[in-house]
Amino acid sequence: MGLRELEDRLRQLPGNLPRAPEQPLRRWAQTHHEGGLSVAFINVVDKVLDTGRACSTWGLQFGLACCAIEMMAVGASRYDLDRFGVFFRGSPRQADAMLVAGTLTLKMADVLRRLYDQMPEPRYVIAVGNCAISGGRFYHHAYSVVRGVDRVVPVDIYVPGCPPRPESFIDAIRKLHQLMRRESIADTIGHGERQHEDFFRKRELP
Amino acid sequence: MSEGQEQQIASVSSPEPLSAELQEIAGDLTTGGCVRAGRPELLTTPENLLPLLNRLHELPEPYSRLTDLCGVDWGDRVQVVYALCRGYGAEMVLVKVDLPRAQAEVPTVTGLWQLAFWPEREVAEMFGVTFVGHPNCEHLLLPEGFVGYPLLKDYEYDRSNPLLSPDPLREDPDAVLGGPPSEDETGAS
Ligand code: SF4
């Protein structure tokens, strides 16, 4: 997908939202299996899956600029993200969360979107640093900096700072874990679309 | 500030005449020249550029290294600057070509230095200079399909691009949020 197509797609999206899935699994369980038991089963499965997911979050390292140095520092022994179960992966297909640290440029936007599309659901995005949030110091005049990663992919957690302290990075990981523990398998089917809708509803506000 | 630095600043503000050696080598192919901050500069035209560079390249003690190639936008004209070095040190001479903005064309120097392949591509996409004879002058740093030459002073970025457009919430928050909060909303009775 070239840059033009990506732009066209983004231009079209707000008016053309996908429907939110209405928890198809839970509804199926309620209607076909006399209620209670299978819903309880889903809840147990949720607990196991969510705990597993939150205790072992593999991150797709997406270091794009100076914030990536901070990400390395957080991953190294002093701050040690390993103890939260976060390991950096080089491949999107093995990753749960994408850690976008740095300045996203027009040329990279296409690649970021493609890698995001390759991640298995449920997938999460953390935007680290002012540049990833809004373009940061490049907001006013830059010809090549995308004004925020959230124009290309839906973002779950924002970490402000230029660059953020490692502590805020760790805080973001903890927040991500809280988010994961609230997920239900019944909701996470179609997770990406649901997020997309929320995301564009939010952006549609103006 | 050391004495050397002061001298350097003084010589930047007041260019000195070229040395007799360079004047003799390049005099007939240049339209001007001076020494700024201890570094000789030769001003030439697009037609004379290649003969001049060739001549500097073939001196007994040649300026055989191209250390930099860049563009400058002076508003009324675009300038391409070639920085040549010789020997093992940093003895440098700058060759400058002035080009009209409307038709900025200059012959490529990839025949002399293959290295010029990359900086020429960059100058071409950033300043809109055409390097005649360049083997493959595609965009180097900019994405494909990018319109305009972003390092020209009068360039404005594409505000209609959804990836670059200003954030409405930041540009005009009142219009987005419907004015400043009323008194009952802020809780001041
Ligand atoms: S937010 Fe600051 S530290 Fe991070 S990438 Fe941008 S300029 Fe660099």
* Number of Cβ atoms within 10 Å of the Cβ of B127: 22
Instruction: Please answer whether residues A132 and A105 qualify as being in contact, where contact means their C-beta atoms are separated by less than 8 angstroms.
Output: no
Minimum-distance CB partner of A146 among B155, B163, B170: B163
Instruction: Please answer whether residues B161 and A11 qualify as being in contact, where contact means their C-beta atoms are separated by less than 8 angstroms.
Output: no
- For residues B71 and B30, give the distance between their C-alpha atoms in angstroms, rounded to a whole number: 19
C-beta of A11 in contact with ligand 1 (< 6 A): no
- What's chain B look like in SS3? CCHHHHHHHHHHHCCECCCHHHHHHHHHHEEEEEEECCEEEEEECHHHHHHHHHHHHCCCCCCCEEEEEEEEECCCEEEEEEEEEECCCCEEEEEEEEEECCCCEEECCCCCCHHHHHHHHHHHHHHCCEEECCCCCCCCCCCCCCCCCCCCCCCCCCCCCCCCCCCHHHHCHHHHHCCCCCHHHHCCC
For atom 6 of ligand 1, the residue with the nearest CA is: A131
Give strand ranges (E) for chain A: 58-63, 87-89, 97-101, 124-128, 157-159
Per residue in B84-140, pLDDT (tens digit) is 998 887 788 999 999 998 888 999 999 989 999 999 999 999 999 999 998 988 899
- For residues B18 and B40, give the distance between their C-alpha atoms in angstroms, rounded to a whole number: 7
- For residues A107 and B9, give the distance between their C-alpha atoms in angstroms, rounded to a whole number: 40
Q: Where are the domains of chain A?
A: 3-16+23-199
Buried b (16+ CB within 10 A) or exposed e, B71-89: bebeeeebbbebbbbbeee
What's the confidence (pLDDT) of residue B7? 67
Which residue has 């055989």 as its token pair?
B64
Q: Beta partners for A58? A: A87
Per residue in A111-157, pLDDT (tens digit) is 898 898 888 877 889 999 999 998 888 988 889 999 989 888 888 88
Pocket test residue of A131, A138, A165, A169 for ligand 1, highest count of atoms within 8 A of CB = A131
* Number of Cβ atoms within 10 Å of the Cβ of A146: 26
Amino acid at site B90:
A
Amino acid at site A201:
R
Amino acid at site A203:
R
**pTM given for the model:** 0.74
Q: Which residues of B touch A14 (CB under 8 A)?
A: none
Q: Which residues of A touch B (CB under 8 A)?
A: 2-4, 6-7, 10-11, 106-107, 109-110, 134, 139, 141-148, 151-152, 205-206
Q: Among A18-22, A177-181, B46-50, B115-119, whose mean pLDDT is lowest?
A: A18-22
How is domain A3-16+23-199 classified at the architecture level of CATH? 3-Layer(aba) Sandwich (3.40)
Q: Which residues of A touch B173 (CB under 8 A)?
A: none
Longest dimension (CA), chain A: 61
Q: pLDDT band at residue B30, thresholds of 50, 70 and 90?
A: confident
Q: Is the peptide bond before B62 cis (omega within 30 degrees of 0)?
A: no
**DSSP letter assigned to residue A61:** E
pLDDT at A184 > cutoff 80: no
User: Could you give the ipTM of this predicted complex?
Assistant: 0.72
Phi then psi dihedrals of residue B104, to 5 deg: -90, 100
Q: Which residues of B touch A103 (CB under 8 A)?
A: none
C-beta of A135 in contact with ligand 1 (< 6 A): no
For atom 8 of ligand 1, the residue with the nearest CA is: A66
CATH code of B3-137, in short, is 3.30.460.80
For residue B37, what are its two tokens? 């901050």
Between B122 and B188, the higher pLDDT residue = B122
